[in-house]
């Protein structure tokens, strides 16, 4: 899928799109239309065959994410077995409880892995938009589990409060939760420090598309190979992503092109709403990361509680208060992701698209009289679709207007799945 | 357009005629309530309001309070404040199922508070755990209630398809919670199997009985939805069904606990394990169809009430028109049960007038049940 717009037209509103397809075999339509088995070449709705609505199975970013998650799962299982054996030998409920928490971690990772894998399935006529939504539902289930676990932890703190017969050993609690904390930190490092990017080293838009290097965090964009998102972030990010160097050789072609076009990104950036601070990372890895983060925060809380009980066994209420505070912190970390999930599931206009500006831009085109029934929605974070009805003047050329509209939407707002119904006044 | 939107937003109650009693009361409320605030919304206040038209109340409070908060993101966080300010009003003007649900939730919350305090003071862990479980369930039910309330809002700029999806989401959350419940019951059964002491069941009888009574009241409220497999005609169906299954599952669990205690006193060995295991399996089987149905809507699966061969037939019919070269990219999905949306792309020969084709295609798919269709006509 290669398209070179002429640099001469690189004026205020155009972005030069260099779509280098790393895997040339991806060009065939993996998205079968219902009644027509062969891909259409004249179909304006979907230039170049593949509609990006399902992965090719051999996209490297996806495999990278899966590999990371698999390593993390294996590590988690190992730690969990260690804890279970130790807990049975020492006959301590606290250690077994922590092992159960690790088990829940494993469950969350399994959900993420499954979502990642399932998102690569080919679209079927029944599931015509591909399987990307599974990611979102998997993340929702993960987050509900986090909430459930926070509740269980608070319950355990209350139980510790009630059991006044001193069978709670502060030291043991402290030691076990410290071990759990170390394990969680190791896993957080393994999953990659996504959080670093959120704080905006430099400019945010660079970040949002910084992962376009075929980073494992943007598996879900076929165009991560250097499609529309590559606003010249190549040079900005070389020094940050040391650990992801292994991806670069696959994308060396795109990296070179990035440098040439870095100056065009400034224009484009102003068109997409400034609120686009959220880097487009893999939602599954991110939800697994949130899970691990939540667990480490809770481990800290339990450690503090254990230390308190160890030091002064009569101050049990502090343990409960600590646990409550830390549980609330954990819940707060999930709020942002929950909001994103909710917005996608409600089919609302994604935050990064400015619908009013899109409408204004469309109405300003010649031939267009009115726009109605404009619906913009996302299948998953980052994949946006649009459908609308455009009323044109009775004498306008429907074909030309259609081309212009689709081109405008695709260039300026990066929405590739567009369905426009042209009606004459 | 307005009729279509009305059709989308109207609903019927499971018990028919008592609506009239409501509407008479509501008209009193309306006349008292001659609004001091001007209504910026375009919804006219009907003279003889049907019970559905509590909408203006909610819409007024929303738009009047929400307006100063309206920045570019008309997102949910802006309307949160409005809804926190007027939840009581919203429920008071809500539909009958909403009121019943609110009643049940308040009963549950009160009961769990009492249990929690009792458990803390008397030092009984079982009461505390039961209180926690109840509180979680109440939280989920409150989400369902919230979904019922907010789903009547008209579609706005950010939520171009309206808020009805939230009901499906609430039903999904309920189903998910019930799945977790069945899983945790299975774990509890396993735990009881490995441990041989079962002393903690005895003093839970009183709480289990009270729990059972409250939940049975809830089942009675939603009795028309107390089935496992339901055909969903409207989005509220899913929500009500999920609430009903929730209280049903809770009552089954309480009944199971009571039975287990009774069997224990009769001297049956491992009664707990058996009862808990049966309850866990029962809840799982109960909730699975709902989970699948809500999941398939959230996953954008093609509308389940339309057979896939019907879609093929339609596209073949369109492709057989002489001006049409081919039909492609036909995708359909359900927004909520009863409202399906689709988009497709039609390639036609040059110079064909699009109105005829549009009408024909729309007519064909409307017959299938797809209300909202966007057709892109590409000229060759």
- SS3 for chain B is CHHHHHHHHCCCCCCCCCHHHHHHHHHHHHHHCCCCCCCCCCCCCCCCCCHHHHHHHHHHHHHHHHHHHCCCCCCHHHHHHHHHHCHHHHHHCCCHHHHHHHHHHHHHHHHHHHHHHHHHHHCCHHHHHHHHHHHHHHHHHHHHHHHHHHCCCCCCCCCCCCCCHHHHHHHHHHHHHHHHHHHHHHHHHHHHHHCCCCHHHHHHHHHHHHHHHHHHHHHHHCHHHCCCCCCCCCHHHHHHHHHHHHHHHHHHHHHHHHHHHHHHHHCCCCHHHHHHHHHHHHHHHHHHHHHHHHHHHHCCCCCCCCCHHHHHHHHHHHHCCCCEEEEEEEEEEEEECCEEEEEEEEEECCCCCHHHHHHHHHHHHHHHCEEEEEEEEEEC
Question: To which H or E segment does residue A370 belong?
Answer: strand A368-380
How far from the centroid of its chain's Cα atoms is residue A68's Cα?
15
A153 backbone φψ class: left, alpha, beta (φ>0; ψ -120 to 50) = alpha
pLDDT (0 to 100) of residue A167: 58
Q: Which residue of B has its CA nearest to A275?
A: B73
Residue appearing with tokens 């037939």: B313
Instruction: Give yes or no for A422 touching B (CB within 8 A).
Output: yes
Q: Cβ distance A363 to A119 under 8 Å? A: no
CA distances from B228 to A278, B29, B253 (A): 42, 38, 17
How many CA atoms within 13 Å lie on the side-chain side of B14? 15
Report the range of poorest mean pLDDT among A98-102, A130-134, B68-72, B118-122: B68-72
**Comparing C-alpha atoms, which of A70, A131, A67, A130 is closest to residue A106?**
A70
By Cβ distance, the residue of A42, A141, A351 closest to B176 is: A141
- Greater confidence (A101 vs A73) lies with A73
Q: What residues in B contact A43, CB-CB < 8 Å?
A: 328-329, 345, 347, 378
pLDDT (0 to 100) of residue B247: 92
Based on the number of CB atoms within 10 Å of its own CB, is B266 exposed (0-12), middle (13-18) or buried (19 or more)?
A: exposed
Is B159 in contact with A128 (Cβ distance < 8 A)?
no
pLDDT (0 to 100) of residue B202: 58
Distance from the Cα of B165 to chain A's closest Cα (Å) equals: 6
Q: Which residue of A has its CA nearest to B123?
A: A162
pLDDT (0 to 100) of residue A282: 78
ipTM of the complex: 0.74
pLDDT exceeds cutoff 80 at B121:
yes
Distance from the Cα of A288 to chain B's closest Cα (Å) equals: 19
Distance from the Cα of B281 to chain A's closest Cα (Å) equals: 20
CA distances from A286 to A229, A282, B289 (A): 20, 6, 30
CA distances from A352 to A172, A224, A415, B301 (A): 48, 18, 11, 25
Q: Which residue of B has its CA nearest to A388?
A: B374
Tokens of B235: 């989005």
pLDDT exceeds cutoff 80 at B224:
yes
By Cβ distance, the residue of A36, A423, A424 closest to B326 is: A36
Each residue's pLDDT tens digit, A307-359:
887 787 777 777 778 888 888 888 888 898 899 899 999 999 988 888 888 88
Instruction: Give yes or no for A345 touching B (CB within 8 A).
Output: yes
% of chain A beyond a pLDDT of 70: 63
Backbone angles phi, psi at B154, to 5 degrees: -75, 155
Q: Which residue of A has its CA nearest to B121?
A: A162
Q: What is the pLDDT averaged over residues B77-81?
A: 66
**Comparing C-alpha atoms, which of B122, B249, B123 is closest to residue B177?**
B249
Q: What residues in B contact A50, CB-CB < 8 Å?
A: none
Q: What residues in A contact B379, CB-CB < 8 Å?
A: 398-399
Q: Which residue of A has its CA nearest to B349?
A: A399
Instruction: Give yes or no for B226 touching A (CB within 8 A).
Output: no
Each residue's pLDDT tens digit, A282-308:
788 888 888 888 888 888 888 888 888
Instruction: Give yes or no for A262 touching B (CB within 8 A).
Output: no
Instruction: Give yes or no for A379 touching B (CB within 8 A).
Output: yes
Q: What residues in A contact B73, CB-CB < 8 Å?
A: 275, 351
Q: Cβ distance A136 to A344 under 8 Å? A: yes
Task: Tell me which of B134, B343, B365 to substitute to probe the interface with A (most A C-beta atoms closer than 10 Å).
Answer: B343
Provide the 3-class DSSP secondary structure of residue A365: coil
Query: pLDDT-derived band of residue B242, with 50, 70 and 90 as boundaries?
Result: very high
Residue appearing with tokens 């429920």: B91
Q: Which residue of A has its CA nearest to B134?
A: A151
Helix boundaries (H) for A261-386:
265-271, 283-311, 316-345, 355-363
Instruction: Give yes or no for B378 touching A (CB within 8 A).
Output: yes
Instruction: Give yes or no for B158 touching A (CB within 8 A).
Output: yes
What gap in Å lies between CA A70 and CA A110, rounded to an integer? 9
Q: What is the pLDDT averaged over residues B253-272?
A: 84
Each residue's pLDDT tens digit, A172-189:
778 888 888 888 888 888
Is A421 in contact with B308 (Cβ distance < 8 A)?
no
Query: pLDDT-derived band of residue A397, with 50, 70 and 90 as boundaries?
Result: confident
Is A34 in contact with B345 (Cβ distance < 8 A)?
no
Distance from the Cα of A86 to chain B's closest Cα (Å) equals: 18
Question: To which H or E segment does residue A95 belong?
Answer: helix A93-118
What gap in Å lies between CA B178 and CA B117, rounded to an integer? 26
Query: pLDDT-derived band of residue A72, with 50, 70 and 90 as boundaries?
Result: confident
Task: Tell me which of B118, B300, B314 to substitute to probe the interface with A (most A C-beta atoms closer than 10 Å).
Answer: B300
Is B129 in contact with A155 (Cβ distance < 8 A)?
yes
Instruction: Give yes or no for B166 touching A (CB within 8 A).
Output: yes
**Comparing C-alpha atoms, which of B198, B136, B175, B183 is closest to residue B280?**
B183
Tokens of B58: 């909610």
Q: What residues in A contact B333, CB-CB < 8 Å?
A: 128-129
Instruction: Give yes or no for A84 touching B (CB within 8 A).
Output: no
Instruction: Give yes or no for B151 touching A (CB within 8 A).
Output: no
pLDDT exceeds cutoff 50 at A5:
no
Based on the number of CB atoms within 10 Å of its own CB, is B359 exposed (0-12), middle (13-18) or buried (19 or more)?
A: exposed
- Give the A window 26-55 contacts with B, CB below 8 Å: 33-36, 40, 42-46, 51
Is A420 in contact with B376 (Cβ distance < 8 A)?
yes
pLDDT (0 to 100) of residue A281: 66
Question: To which H or E segment does residue A424 belong?
Answer: strand A417-424
Mean pLDDT score of chain B: 77
pLDDT exceeds cutoff 80 at B52:
no
């Amino acid at each position: 899928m290669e398209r070179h717009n002429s640099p001469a037209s690189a004026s205020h509103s155009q972005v030069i799109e260099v779509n280098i397809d790393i895997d040339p075999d991806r060009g065939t339509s993996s998205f079968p239309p219902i009644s027509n088995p062969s891909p259409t070449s004249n179909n304006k709705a979907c230039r170049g065959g593949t509609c990006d609505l399902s992965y090719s199975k051999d996209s490297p970013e996806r495999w990278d994410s899966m590999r990371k998650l698999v390593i993390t799962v294996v590590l988690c299982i190992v730690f969990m077995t260690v804890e279970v054996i130790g807990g049975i030998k020492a006959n301590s409920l606290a250690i077994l409880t922590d092992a159960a928490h690790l088990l829940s971690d494993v469950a969350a990772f399994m959900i993420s892995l499954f979502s990642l894998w399932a998102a690569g399935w080919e679209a079927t006529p029944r599931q015509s938009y591909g399987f990307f939504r599974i990611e979102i539902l998997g993340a929702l289930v993960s987050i509900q589990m986090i909430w459930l676990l926070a509740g269980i932890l608070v319950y355990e703190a209350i139980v510790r409060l009630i059991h006044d017969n001193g069978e709670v050993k502060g030291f043991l609690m402290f030691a076990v939760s410290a071990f759990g904390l170390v394990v969680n930190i190791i896993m957080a490092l393994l999953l990659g420090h996504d959080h670093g990017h959120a704080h905006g080293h430099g400019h945010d838009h660079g970040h949002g598309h910084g992962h376009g290097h075929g980073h494992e965090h943007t598996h879900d964009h076929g165009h991560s190979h250097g499609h529309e998102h590559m606003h010249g972030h190549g040079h900005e990010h070389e020094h940050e992503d040391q650990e992801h160097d292994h991806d670069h050789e696959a994308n060396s072609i795109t990296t070179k092109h990035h440098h040439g076009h870095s100056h065009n990104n400034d224009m484009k950036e102003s068109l997409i709403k400034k609120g686009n601070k959220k880097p487009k990372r893999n939602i599954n890895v991110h939800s697994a990361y949130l899970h691990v983060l939540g667990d480490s925060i809770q481990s800290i809380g339990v450690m503090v509680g254990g230390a308190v009980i160890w030091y002064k066994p009569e101050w049990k209420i502090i343990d409960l208060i600590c646990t409550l505070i830390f549980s609330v912190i954990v819940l707060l970390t999930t709020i942002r992701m929950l909001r994103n999930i909710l917005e996608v599931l409600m089919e609302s206009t994604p935050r990064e698209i400015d619908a009013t500006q899109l409408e204004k831009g469309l109405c300003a085109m010649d031939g267009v009289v009115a726009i109605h029934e404009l619906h913009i929605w996302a299948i998953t974070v980052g994949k946006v679709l649009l459908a609308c009805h455009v009323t044109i003047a009775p004498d306008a050329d429907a074909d030309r207007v259609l081309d212009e509209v689709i081109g405008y939407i695709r260039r300026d707002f990066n929405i590739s799945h567009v369905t426009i119904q042209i009606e004459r006044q | 357009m307005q009729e279509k939107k009305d059709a989308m937003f109207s609903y019927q109650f499971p018990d028919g005629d008592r609506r009239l009693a409501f509407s008479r009361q509501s008209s009193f409320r309306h006349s008292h309530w001659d609004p001091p605030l001007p209504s910026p919304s375009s919804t006219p206040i009907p003279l003889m309001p049907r019970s559905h038209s509590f909408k203006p109340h909610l819409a007024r409070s929303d738009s009047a309070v929400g307006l100063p908060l309206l920045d570019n993101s008309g997102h949910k966080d802006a309307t949160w404040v409005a809804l926190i300010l007027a939840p009581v009003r919203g429920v008071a003007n809500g539909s009958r199922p909403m009121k019943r649900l609110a009643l049940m939730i308040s009963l549950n919350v009160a009961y769990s508070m009492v249990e929690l305090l009792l458990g803390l003071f008397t030092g009984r862990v079982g009461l505390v755990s039961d209180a926690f479980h109840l509180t979680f369930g109440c939280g989920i039910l409150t989400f369902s209630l919230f979904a019922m309330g907010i789903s009547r809002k008209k579609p706005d700029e950010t939520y171009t398809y309206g808020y009805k999806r939230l009901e499906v989401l609430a039903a999904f959350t309920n189903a998910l919670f019930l799945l977790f419940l069945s899983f945790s019951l299975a774990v509890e059964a396993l735990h009881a199997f490995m441990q041989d002491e079962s002393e903690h069941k005895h003093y839970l009888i009183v709480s289990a009985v009270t729990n059972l009574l409250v939940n049975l009241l809830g089942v009675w409220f939603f009795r028309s939805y107390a089935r496992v497999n339901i055909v969903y005609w409207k989005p509220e169906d899913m929500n009500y069904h999920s609430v009903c299954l929730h209280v049903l599952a809770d009552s089954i669990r309480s009944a199971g606990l009571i039975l287990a205690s009774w069997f224990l006193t009769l001297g049956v060995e491992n009664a707990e394990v058996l009862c808990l295991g049966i309850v866990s399996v029962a809840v799982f089987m109960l909730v699975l169809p709902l989970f699948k149905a809500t999941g398939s809507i959230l996953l954008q699966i093609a509308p389940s009430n339309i057979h896939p061969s019907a879609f093929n037939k339609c596209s073949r019919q369109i492709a057989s028109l002489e001006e049409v070269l081919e039909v492609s990219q036909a995708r359909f999905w359900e927004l909520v049960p009863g409202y399906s949306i689709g988009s497709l792309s039609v390639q036609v020969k040059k110079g064909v007038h699009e109105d005829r084709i549009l009408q024909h295609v729309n007519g064909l798919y409307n017959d299938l049940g797809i209300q909202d269709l966007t057709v892109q006509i590409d000229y060759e």
